[in-house]
Structures are given as C-alpha cells and as structure tokens.
A and B are shown apart, each in its own frame.
Chain A
Amino acid sequence: MAITFEHVGYTYQAGTPMATPALSDISFTVPDHGYLAIIGHTGSGKSTLIQQINALLKPTTGKITVDDFTITPQTTNADLKPLRRHVGMVFQFPESQLFEETIQRDIAFGPQNFGLSEEEANQRALDMLKTVGLDESFADRSPFELSGGQMRRVAIAGVLAMQPKVLVLDEPTAGLDPQGRQEMMTLFNRLHQEQGLTIILVTHQMEDVAAYADEVAVMQAGKLLTCATPQEVFNDPAWVQSSDIAVPRAAKFAQQLDKRGVKWDQLPLTADQLADQLVQHWPGMGAQHE
C-alpha cells in the first residue's frame, strides 16, 4: 500500500488556549512495498506523524492517502475500520496493550475485531506465535507471566495476526537485549521481503536505518527536514552536522578513514559494506580470513 502525505499539519487541542502545534506542512510519499525509516529527536513529531497513518489522530490541515483511503480533517470515525484493518501499529512498549487471560486469545483479539471467526483467529494466533519465535506451548499461558521480551513478541504477534499490508513500528526494539533486537529487525525485514509489507519504522538506531530502510525521513521540531535514501542523507557530513542527527557507526568509521586518505566509491553505511570496500582497497586483508 502506498502512502502519501500532502501538506499535513496537526495541532494538539486545536482551538483552545492549550493548542500546541506538533506537525506543519509535511509532504512525502512511501511507495507500495517501501521501507521508510523516520528519525529525529524526542519531541520532533515522529509519534504524532505515524498516528496520522491510521487516523488515530486526524490532520488539522492537509490530506493523507493510503491506497484508496483518503483522510482529511473532515473524515468521520465510521469510515476508518477498513483502513485500520490494513494498517498494523506497533506502539512503543506494545506489551502494555496485553489484557487477555491467555496468549492465544490476546493474539486472536485483533483478527476477531475485524470479522474473523473465533476458530480462524485462534489458528492464526498459533501461526503468529511461531512467526515471532515462540512455540505453541505458550498459547494457553497468561501473557502476564512472561518476561518483558516475550511479552513484546506476543504483542507484535497480536498486530501481525490482523495481516496488515502496512506495518507501522514505533521504536519496536527499545529496551530489548542486542540479540532480541537483532531477531526482531530480521523478522520485520523478512515480512517486508517475503510478504511485501510496506514498513514505516520510527527509530533511534542509525544502524537499522542503514541496513533496512529504502528511504529515511528526518524530522525536526514538527517539520520534515528531508526524505531521501540513507546514502543521500548520511553522505553529506556538513548537513548531518548542522541538522544534529547521528550517523551509523560504520559510516563514522569510514569518514575517519576518509580524513586519512582512504577514498570510497560510495560511503559505506553498514559493517558489511565497509568490509567489502576495505577488501577491495587491500586485497590481502580478506585473504587472511579464508
């Protein structure tokens, strides 16, 4: 599903003395099967932005198009259910949304709300448990006796069970250990590759941006600074410096080498790209490992 924002603005509590503008004049497009990363400091409007995609917040000005759905300030709640069925949202710390007595029933909750029979939903819940790397023995346990990382997986399974076409992820790996983080990101990438899900990822992990995203949107104080490929965004050290965003570790390392005279065909953003190019510079280095 393609997503288009046209001059979207959003103000919290518009029309009262407490009104606070959160987004202004946001325009960008994510193509079908795209992978967009959104970066920016805390309070820059990332979370407000993603809540527009399934109209949990409706824009104060402008227009959003998600495939055939159009969201404008006039959109009413009655029209939104089909949209929400197709846009899966994984909020920050999604484990706080668990409430059912068993894990299976919690995962089946979303699909049932969107019209699946109990039987089908339960079957899908079992499938999703496997997808997120938990076995079937978890199905009848209470979600509240799990560890934090397992609860996170169950919550994500609950969103995936709706079989959305767009997956919106708000810092899905915050608070996980490095291995869990790696597994989660690999899972999302697999869904993107194999099932063609459009993915919107809000993150502070520049390594994830470099490794997975097609495009990266940089937010600052409610405005969209730029929306371009990671290569374009991170390649301009002066711009990166001035807009106060971090750079992937591999790119930082490459830039240090750059100062000492190593020339790159293209700035490497991930450790793999860095290694590949280094091997080309010093062919002998790779040979030692083989």
Chain B
Amino acid sequence: MSNFIFGRYLPLNSTVHRLDPRSKLLLSFCYLIVVFLANSWLSYAILIGFTLAAILSSKISLGFFLKGLRPMLWLIAFTVVVQLLFSPAGGHVYFHWTILNITQAGLVNSGVIFIRFLLIIMMSTLLTLSTQPLDIATGLSSLMRPLRWVRIPVDTLAMMLAIALRFVPTLMDEATKIMNAQRARGVDFGEGGLIKQAKSFIPLMVPLFMSAFNRAEDLSTAMEARGYRDSEHRSQYRILTWQRRDTMTWIVFLMVVAAMLATRRW
C-alpha cells in the first residue's frame, strides 16, 4: 500500500510541477481524447515518446513511477485478457475453444488496449504526482467558472472540493492511529476469512466516522465564527497565472498531436 502512487503528490521542483494546474488539467483531458484517436503503431510510438518525455522532465524517477503502478497492472492485465479471449473473429485463428477465441485481430486489439490503458494511467498519475491537491481544486474551479452563468454554485463546489482534499491526509493519519490502537488491542486487519476481515473493520470505521463528524462540526463552527458566508464573491489566496512555460508546453503538445494525426490511418 505504501508504494502505491496512483493519486498521490510528490513534492519536487520541476518544470512540470511549476506548470499552471489549469494547463495540466486541460492537457490531461485533451490527451485522453488524443490517445483514443491514435490507431497506427507509429502514432502510438509518438505518444509513448511524449509521455516518457513528460515523466522525465518532472524529475520523478522512471523506476519509482513503474514500481508504483505495479498494483494497477492487475486491472490492466484483466482487461487485456478479456479483450484477448472474447474478441471477434478476424485474421488468423490461433486458438479456439467453445466461445473463447484467440485471433490475430484479438491480439492486436488487446495490444492496443494495453498501450492506451498504460498511457492514460501514466499521464493522470503524472498529473497528481506533480500537482498539489489544493492546486487541482483551484484549477478546477477556475476552469468551471463559466458554469456560473447557468447558476451552478461553482464557488461552493470548489470550497467543498478543497475541504475534502484538505482532509484526506488528516483522515488517513487518523485511520492509521486508530488502526494502531486496535492492533494493540489484538485486532488483525486483513487476516482470516472474508466475514472476519469485514468484522475487523468495525473498530476502525466507527471511530473514524465519529472523528470525521466531530471535525466537520468544529470546522463549520470555526468558519462561521470567522464570518464565512456561502456564495459571496470571494477573492483567492492562490492566484493562477498563465506563464510562458504553459504556452511552450501547449505548443509542444499541439505539435505532438499534429505528428500523431499525420501518422494515423485515416
């Protein structure tokens, strides 16, 4: 669990870390679409190259990155195997048994799925590893600002998101603390049969919920005591500014997209 890096933040000082969170969020989103547009091996090679370059320029070591993604491999492997066995007929048939087929088309398809999966996971992991949760929240709320015109309470949503993200580490610490206390009282977490395992989480979940509710109450009291009111136009402590490196990043990204489009089969 401790080396599972999906969704975590790694404080370093690199160009990728310093990019505007809005540009990282938008870019990750566009990348998602771009990955599904690629269809030739060369176009995938270009995207793989771009992804590796992005990871390298974040100063996060590739070995650490791959090791942290190992738990995700099961999910990927499962998808690939399903794709491999249940794919439609096409090309040479290598293996056939009742409804299971391994065909050439299936082989190619599962290869494509594997690459797409890996690329998307790597890019979104890079996003969270290089961006503080609060920056992601600020970036999201800034991107959602136009939705105000259709009367969506963007500021309130952003505040909720920021508070939720802020309390993730606090609750994680709390959970560790409670787990330790219960372990010292003889609870074995994650051992025994399914029912025993599920039961062992009651002594964790009850105190955790208690403390989360208490915290929420304290926080709301503290916010009200300092005059917080909903849906006021509030100024922000973190001001996002679009830098030249953001523009440069987008130029590189658009060039990669153009190269990918040029090499894909139409």
Contact = CB atoms under 8 A, between A and B. Distances in A.
A and B interact physically = yes
Chain A interface size, as a band, is 20 to 34
A94 interface: yes
Contact of B64 (A17, A84, A110): A17
B207 A16 contact: no
Interface in B202-251: 202-203, 206-207, 210-211
A91 B184 CA distance: 10
B91 interface: no
Which of B178, B180, B184 is packed against the most chain A CB atoms within 10 Å? B184
Contacts of B96: none
* Max count, chain A CB within 10 A of own CB: residue among B61, B207, B211: B207
Interface string B164-206: 0000000000100110111111111001000000000011001
A281 interface: no
Contacts of B211: 96
Interface residues of B, number: 26
Nearest to A144: B210
B2 interface: yes
Contacts of A99: 202-203, 206-207
B13 interface: no
Contact of A96 (B2, B178, B184): B178
A151 to B, nearest CB: 11
B3 interface: yes
Interface in A38-97: 51, 54, 56, 77, 81, 84-85, 87-89, 91, 94, 96-97
Contact of B186 (A18, A81, A94, A144): A81
A34 interface: no
Contacts of B186: 81, 84-85, 110, 113-114, 162
A17 B203 contact: no
A56 B178 CA distance: 12
Contacts of B12: 17
Contacts of A18: 10
A10 interface: no
Contacts of B177: 91, 96
B185 A110 contact: yes
Contacts of B185: 97, 109-110, 113, 158-159, 162
A17 B68 CA distance: 12
Contacts of A17: 10, 12, 60-61, 64
A98 interface: yes
B43 to A, nearest CB: 33
Contacts of A88: 184
A13 B191 CA distance: 23
A84 B184 contact: yes
Contacts of A13: 2-3
Nearest to B214: A96
Contact of A16 (B3, B181, B202): B3
Interface string B116-129: 00000000000000
B169 to A, nearest CB: 13
A15 B68 CA distance: 12
Interface of B: 2-3, 10, 12, 60-61, 64, 174, 177-178, 180-188, 191, 202-203, 206-207, 210-211
Given A16-B64, A96-B181, 12 more contacts: A15-B3, A16-B2, A17-B64, A56-B183, A89-B184, A91-B180, A96-B174, A96-B178, A96-B210, A97-B185, A97-B207, A98-B207
17 contacts: A15-B3, A56-B180, A81-B186, A85-B186, A89-B181, A89-B184, A91-B177, A91-B181, A96-B181, A96-B207, A96-B210, A97-B203, A109-B185, A110-B185, A110-B186, A113-B186, A114-B186
The 10 closest A-B pairs by CB, nearest first: A113-B186, A99-B206, A89-B184, A110-B185, A97-B181, A114-B186, A56-B180, A99-B203, A91-B181, A99-B207
